[in-house]
Amino acid sequence: MAKATCGSPWLKMNCGCNRPSGSFGGPFRSNRRSRRMAIREILQLGNPLLWEQSAPIETFDSEATRTLIRDLDDTLTHFYDTHGFGRAIAAPQIGSLNRAIFVRMQPSGFCGPLINPRIVWADPEQIEVWDDCFSFPDLLVKLRRARQIEVEYQDAQGTVQQVSADEDFSELLQHEIDHLDGILAVQRAQSPKDFSTRKEWERIHRARR
């Protein structure tokens, strides 16, 4: 089992990366430049598929699995290029109920798919974050996440890997794994006051600088 660590001083909000960096836990090389991108529609809050649990992926050499990874990669890239933020995407968000997520952290973080990820350890210490989501990009939710976690997953070849994540990478992985379990960030809010539109959040935080 390979093991990697990642932590970075990102703002505690799912704002993101620009292009692929080096990968942890096994090589991942996108061939996006040599093929036509496959951009999938991102399901929005209210679509019942987002509340469904995803099934484990069992075959790694199938065209279906390779296509899913490519589609996640391409859709994440397109979202970032269009909106200017976004570090990860989960398969249910493109209508595929399979346990796969794709992460791209910058400037020197994790890049690639995590298949069948599961949290094997969570720090009892928590952090407060404003969480957003591709499935409701104009809404932010204040919630609490474990400061550090250990995640076991399989890479694109099916090899079991383990990654240690803290702070922003930790909350990001928790958010994406929630998607695989049919849980959205809006369910994690502890109060009706823990919601903000993106426009209002940005206005308030600009005023505080």
Catalytic residues: 176
Question: What residue has token string 């089992």?
Answer: 1
Number of H helices, E strands in the chain: 3, 9
Is 175 annotated to bind ligand? Answer: yes
Spatial CA neighbour of 42 closest among 100, 90, 9: 90
Is 15 annotated to bind ligand? Answer: no
Distance between CA atoms of residues 87 and 73, nearest Å:
11
Distance between CA atoms of residues 36 and 192, nearest Å:
43
172: exposed, middle or buried (Cβ count in 10 Å: 0-12, 13-18, 19+) = buried
Is 133 annotated to bind ligand? Answer: yes
Q: Which residues contact 116 (CB under 8 A, 6 or more apart)?
A: 56, 57, 99, 100, 153, 154
Q: Which residues contact 5 (CB under 8 A, 6 or more apart)?
A: 24, 163, 164, 165
Known binding positions for Fe cation: 133, 175, 179
Known binding positions: 133, 175, 179
